[in-house]
Amino acid sequence: MTEAISHTSRTEDVVTVRAEEVLVEPPMGDVVMTLRDVAVSFGGRMAVRGVSFDVRAGEVTALIGPSGSGKTTLLRALNRMHDAVRTASVSGTVRLGDLDVYAPTTDATLLRSRVGMVFQRPNPFPTMSIYDNAVAGLRFNGVRKRALLDEAAESALIGAALWDSVKDRLKAHASTLSGGEQQRLCIARALAVEPEVLLMDEPTSALDPIATKRIEELVGELKERVTIVIVTHNMQQAMRVSDRCAFLLMGEDKAGELIEFGPTARLFSEPSDPRTLDYVNGRFG
């Protein structure tokens, strides 16, 4: 109970905190995104519902829960990735600042320049060089000026801790990078557009432990620059990287719902809901 904080990135160690520390929440920054009663269904079948919480600037918000609880579905609703699916229907309100994300007047492509995404498996464009990959988002959004492209690429690659290894081979194909490096390239690609929010869908699940560790460190460094919402099925990872967590669980009707939302430290040590307690204690995965 009076132990010092031992907060490591080794997977199995349990965090022990001092009693007083538990009660200190992360300071409440500005709200960047709000979700109210968000629900997603596919052809009438509900996938996730009743989700409401706020995403605050400069923080890492994690969506956690067992598989099938709708975490990824919810994440993808935040940048309107479900637009491409004909049978998908999203209800509730998602706001980015004062923009209603799902308003008919809101343009989805413009939205995605403000809310970026990194996927589970690294997906750099194979026909493009490292540089072209990094600036791909900028070019899609109509940026032409070479100076701006170069500046943004360098800043993004530095931010993704990739600059030093690639600065001399920017013209090389993206496929010459290792898996972990490719994922960091994808992060750089998303960062280059300077989004306000970065969505990450289990970004380390396809990577080896060393690469995973690097990216977790990166997430910690990046959160000041861009607000991060990360989906992870790895509880320890959530504990390591996130400031706040949203715990989702599949209900009886096979739809995911938000069980509890709050500061990570509190959620993992004194959660309000018994189901959260069960999950963080590993009673079900």
Partner 1 sequence: MTSVGTALPGPRGRGRRFSLPDNGYRAGLYAVALLVAALAVWFLVAIVIQAVPAFSTLGFSWIVSKTWNPAHGQFGILPFILGTLETTAIAVVLAVPIGLGTAVALAFLVPARIRPALSTTVELLAAVPSVVYGLWGLIVLAPVFHNTVEPFLTTAFGWTGLFGGPSRGVGLLLAGVILFVMIVPTMVAVSRDVIAVVPTEQVEGAVALGATRWQVLRKVVLPGARTGILGAFTLATGRALGETVAVAMVIGNSPYIAHSLKAPAATVPSLIVNNFGESTGTELSVLIGAGLVLLVIGVLVNSAARWLVWSTGTRSAGLELGR
Partner 2 sequence: MTVVLEPPADPTLERRAAIQAAAASSLRRRKVSSSVALGVCWLFLAIAVVPLVAVVYYVLAKGLPAWSTDFFTQPTKPEGVAAGGVWNAIVGTMVITAIAVAVTVPVGLLCGLYLAESDSGVAATLRFTADVMTGIPSITVGIFGYIAIVRNFGYSGYAGAFAIGFIMLPVITRAGETAFRGVPHSLNEAAMALGARKATVARRIVLPTALPGVITGVLLAVARGLGETAPLLLTIFGNQFLQWSPSKPMEALPILIYNDSSQPYADQVQLAWGAALLLMVVVLVLSIGSRLLAAHLQKERR
User: Where does this chain bind partner 2 (CB under 8 A)?
Assistant: 24, 26-27, 29, 57-58, 107, 109-110, 113-114, 138, 141-144, 148, 151-152, 155, 193-194, 196, 224-225
Nearer to partner 1, 139 or 254 (CB): 139
DSSP state of 90: E
In the block, which residue shows the tokens 């413009």?
110
Nearer to partner 1 by Cβ, of 24 and 110: the residue is 110
Tokens of 70: 């709708």
- Helix-helix angle 146-159:130-140, to 10 degrees: 120
The residue written with tokens 């809310």 in the block is 115
Q: How far is the CB of 109 from partner 1 (least distance, A)?
A: 5
**DSSP letters along 68-88, please?**
TSSHHHHHHHHTTGGGG-TTE
d(CA 216, CA 71): 19
Residue pair 167/131 in contact (Cβ under 8 Å)? The answer is: no
Nearest approach, Cβ of residue 141 and partner 1 (Å): 5
Site for partner 1 in 119-178 (CB under 8 A): 119, 121, 123-128, 136-137, 139-141
Our finding on whether 86 is near partner 1 (CB under 8 A) is yes
* Residue 195, amino acid: P
- The answer to whether residue 1 forms part of the interface with partner 1 (CB under 8 A) is no
Is residue 181 within 8 Å of residue 162, measured between CB atoms? yes
DSSP state, residue 66 = S
CB 236 to partner 2: min, Å: 21
Measured CA to CA, the distance from residue 150 to residue 107 in angstroms comes to 27
Q: Is residue 81 close enough to count as binding partner 1 by CB under 8 A?
A: yes
Q: Which does 84 bind (CB under 5 to 8 A by kind): partner 2, partner 1, none?
A: partner 1
Binding pattern for the stretch 36-65 against partner 1, x by CB under 8 A and - elsewhere: ------------------------------
Residue numbers of the site for partner 1 (CB under 8 A)? 79, 81, 84, 86, 109-113, 116-117, 119, 121, 123-128, 136-137, 139-141, 186, 189-190, 193
